[in-house]
Structure 1
Amino acid sequence: MQTEWLSDEERVAWVRLAAVLELLPGVLDTQLRRDAELTHFEYFLLAMLSEAPDRTLRMTSLAQRTHATLPRLSHVVRRLEDRGLVRRFPCPQDGRATNAQLTDAGWAKVVDTAPGHVTNVRHHVIDALGADQVTQLSEITEAILARIDPDGVVMSPQRGHPSGRR
């Protein structure tokens, strides 16, 4: 099989996307650590729970939605449990499974943290684009997600607002 090399225009687009993928997590993490004493991953995990029915998900489902291995997820959830933001308990429908639930303190943390996070996202991403570009970005990311997440785990129908806003 012969490699179909990227054209100059494709290479520039790819390198720019790769730069965004490398730089944006640090930008998001810095603000969340400063303002909420959370990593971006911790906030994302709390936001996923905030959007779930009864603010509860099986750990396996939470791992899928956050793209975490079960050991990593367990470690992070344990830290959040120690802070009173999450609790774990046996799944009533399947005693072999464990559920994670956002506590009232965890909900309050998401609600308090969401405005600063949204402001940061708006400043660094949304406000850098025009309205047509936001639409294009949505279409572009949808096309890419269809390839890298064909089962739609990330954007499942249950997902509401990633900011935790309802």
Structure 2
Amino acid sequence: MPTAQPAPATAEPNPLSPEEEAVVRALPRLIHALPRAIDADMVREQRLPSTEYLALMHLSEAPGRQLRMSDLAEVCEMSLSGTTRVVHRLESLGFVQRVRCAEDARGWNAALTDAGFRRLKEAWPTNLAAVRRYFLDHLAGLDLKKLAAALQKVAT
């Protein structure tokens, strides 16, 4: 099967349509503003930053409610050192505990405690309301299945 070849260097670039230009310009603002808006609501209403909420959420979805620290960092899209700081804070609150990896005694897992799961359930309505208010409510009428597929394709 032939692979796509890059356009010749002499070809004129195809200018963006006004709609394409609007999307390209809005995306960086969205990437910056959306997490900040959700985080502000989470901190104000729950005293739980989004980074901590996301760690609790991902742990709640993991088998046995635990993940290797490096895997948690990956799914939270954070550095390992940043994840370690978040887990340390959650551990000090009794929401997470660190346990040795069963497969590799050198590694550590972050494990969600029952208290952490309760805290996640308590914070979930605030997160949901913020996601709807700042993002999903603005997408009314769009084909969300197609949008999700397109965003996933761009992300990979």
Q: What TM bracket, shorter-length normalisation? A: 0.7 to 0.9
8 Å Cα contact 2:38-2:134 kept in structure 1: no
Whether 2:66 is the aligned partner of 1:56: answer yes
| Residue correspondence of structure 1 range 102-117 to structure 2 within 5 A | 102-117=112-127
Number of the residue aligned with 1:156? none
Residue of structure 1 aligned with 2:16, choices 7, 16, 19: 7
Moved more, 107-116 or 128-137: 128-137
Moved more, 59-68 or 2-11: 2-11
Residue of structure 1 aligned with 2:109, choices 99, 107, 114: 99
2:82 is aligned with what amino acid? R
Query: Shift in Å at residue 20 of structure 1?
Result: 0.8
Residue of structure 2 aligned with 1:79, choices 86, 89, 96: 89
Query: Shift in Å at residue 5 of structure 1?
Result: 7.3
Residue of structure 2 aligned with 1:21, choices 11, 31, 51: 31
TM-score by length of 2: 0.85
Structure 2: gaps of 5 or more residues: 1-7
Report the Cα distance in structure 2 between the residues aligned to 1:47 and 1:63, rounded to whole angstroms.
Answer: 13
Q: Tell me the C-alpha RMSD between the 2 structures.
A: 1.9
TM-score by length of 1: 0.80
1:119 is aligned with what amino acid? A
Number of the residue aligned with 2:78? 68
Whether 2:134 is the aligned partner of 1:134: answer no
Post-superposition CA distance 1:14-38 (Å, at most 9, x none): 1111111111011100111012211
Post-superposition CA distance 1:28-70 (Å, at most 9, x none): 0011101221111111111000100111011111111111111
Structure 1: gaps of 5 or more residues: 148-166
Report the Cα distance in structure 1 between the residues aligned to 2:43 and 2:77, rounded to whole angstroms.
Answer: 20
- What SS does the corresponding residue of 2:107 show, helix, strand or coil? strand
Q: Which has the higher contact order (CA 8 A, sep 6+)?
A: 1
* Identical pairs, percent: 32
Residue of structure 1 aligned with 2:44, choices 34, 37, 53: 34
Query: Shift in Å at residue 8 of structure 1?
Result: 4.7
Report the Cα distance in structure 1 between the residues aligned to 2:76 and 2:34, rounded to whole angstroms.
Answer: 17
- What SS does the corresponding residue of 2:111 show, helix, strand or coil? strand
How many residue pairs align between the two structures? Answer: 146
- What SS does the corresponding residue of 1:57 show, helix, strand or coil? strand
8 Å Cα contact 1:126-1:134 kept in structure 2: no
Report the Cα distance in structure 1 between the residues aligned to 2:98 and 2:15, rounded to whole angstroms.
Answer: 47
